[in-house]
Amino acid sequence: MEKLMIRGGRPLHGVVQISGAKNSAVALIPAAILAESAVTLDNLPAISDVAVYSDILRDLGAVVERKDDIIRIDPSELKSVPMPNGKVKMLRASYYLMGAMLGRFGEAVIGLPGGCNFEPRPIDQHIKGFEALGATVVNEHGAMRITAKELRGAKIFLDIVSVGATINIMLAASRAKGSTIIENAAKEPEIIDVATLLNAMGARIKGAGTETIRIEGVDQMHGCRHSIIPDRIQVGTYMIMAAATRGDVTVEGVIPKHMEAVTAKLREMGATVEELDDAVRIISSDEPYHPVDVKALVYPGFATDLQSPMTSLLTQANGVSVLSDYIYGNRFKHVPELALMGANIRLEGRSAIIEGGPLSSAKVHATDLRAGAALVIAGLTVKDGITEVTGVEYIDRGYDNLVENLRRLGADIWRETTSDDK
């Protein structure tokens, strides 16, 4: 077990390069198995979820070769193997194997997803989509058995906007007979990224990034090469870190349009954000930050994955801010840990009422990926003492080279080995 040690109080300065998007990679890797020949993905993030997914595909018979930020997946000898337990339980995004295996083989037995534990992630909209395409779905002792003699296109209206369900239905429908229309589809950039890969593999998908996606099923798909989009959650986290430490940081490898909700809130608080062609620069002043109200919503709203990091920044504002999460109402497990650092935060339903004030060092524990980022940000703001953050395995699921990047920006942060105790 490892822990992060942070001696805060240092403004971050310099340039940081962003890797490919975690939320794209965990969908693109299973999407590759729909091809009959090798798929190469560039700009791959070096995160633990990618390593686990690589192992899963090898267990299914794929040849997976990885070098630096490039992965080559040859699924030509892939077998339909039941995976009710084991590595799939380690991933929240393992459900993408359902749509991919269903599209490729007409069947899938996949264990229900694991990963971060901030809130159960229902897959009822995924199941609704599979059943509309002609599949039978049965829950067998915590694993989903999905079978279809033939997948046929359908019109599917999602009751709630769901990134996972939108992608899963796209995967299965790409190999279905006839036309599929997904209404009330999610619009996140990762949806467009997956559709771009699938189209390069021979799929026929239109409307990705809008609320209506149209898919014409194809009989076969082939390999290709694809570059993963930048990780907008990483970008937002470094933007928030720069503001929280009163720094001056340029984040490179960015699509600025993806960051509009974060940029707007940082500017509202009083930070300067400069948008460049493929970078953003965050410049802080010594003036007190203004309190703001933040609502985590579906894209293009403020991302729920940045709600936890934003909580830490709002402790640095001069006044009371309200942060509400309309995606995951229980995603506040970082709040008791921030309270150990002296944060004045009150929870009311889906909202956190945050009164700004200085934080102090403490021993805290990350209970999920983004909560971990929030605690690192909090530790970076503390001017006295050393903050210890355990639960590093969650942070490693979504932030590659975090310690190295922060050290290059001037932070005093390092890893230490610890016992299993908190």
Cis peptide bond prior to 45, omega within 30° of 0: no
pLDDT tops 80 at residue 259 = yes
Q: Which of 187, 158, 255, 234 is nearest to 395 (CA)?
A: 234
Q: Which of 117, 160, 118, 165 is nearest to 137 (CA)?
A: 165
HSE-up of residue 357 (Cα within 13 Å, Cβ side): 12
pLDDT at residue 80, rounded to an integer: 95
Task: Show the CA angle centred on residue 45, arms to residues 41 and 51, nearest 5°.
Answer: 85
Residue 62 CA to residue 11 CA, distance in Å, equals 46
Which has more pLDDT, 119 or 244? 244
DSSP 8-class letter at 261: H
Helix (H) or strand (E) holding 403: helix 402-408
Cis peptide bond prior to 300, omega within 30° of 0: yes
Residue 256 CA to residue 183 CA, distance in Å, equals 27
Q: Kindly state the tokens that stand for 232.
A: 């907008």
Contact by Cβ (8 Å): 46, 400? yes
Catalytic position from the list 110, 116, 163, 239: 116
Residue 177 CA to residue 197 CA, distance in Å, equals 20
List pLDDT tens digits, range 205-223.
999 999 999 999 999 999 9
Q: Which of 41, 94, 88, 46 is nearest to 404 (CA)?
A: 46
Sign of the Cα torsion 318, 320, 322, 323 reads: positive
Amino acid found at 384: D
Confidence of residue 91 (pLDDT cuts 50, 70, 90): confident
Amino acid found at 271: A
Task: Show the CA angle centred on residue 106, arms to residues 39 and 224, nearest 5°.
Answer: 10
Contact by Cβ (8 Å): 228, 41? yes
pLDDT at residue 114, rounded to an integer: 62
List pLDDT tens digits, range 110-162.
988 765 554 556 799 999 999 999 999 999 888 899 999 999 999 999 999 99
Confidence of residue 366 (pLDDT cuts 50, 70, 90): very high
Contact by Cβ (8 Å): 85, 111? yes
3-class DSSP assignment, residue 37 = coil
Amino acid found at 4: L
Sequential DSSP letters for 230-242: B-HHHHHHHHHHH
Q: Which of 281, 255, 258 is nearest to 409 (CA)?
A: 281
116 is catalytic: yes
Q: Kindly state the tokens that stand for 277.
A: 């062609």
pLDDT at residue 422, rounded to an integer: 46
Residue whose entry in the numeric block shows the structure tokens 């889906």: 350
pLDDT at residue 1, rounded to an integer: 87
Q: What is the separation, in whole angstroms, between the first and last Cα of the chain?
A: 10
Q: Which of 414, 369, 328, 371 is nearest to 48 (CA)?
A: 369
Residue 139 CA to residue 127 CA, distance in Å, equals 10
Contact by Cβ (8 Å): 323, 346? no
Q: Kindly state the tokens that stand for 41.
A: 């993905």
Residue 381 CA to residue 309 CA, distance in Å, equals 12
Task: Give mean pLDDT, residues 237-262.
Answer: 98
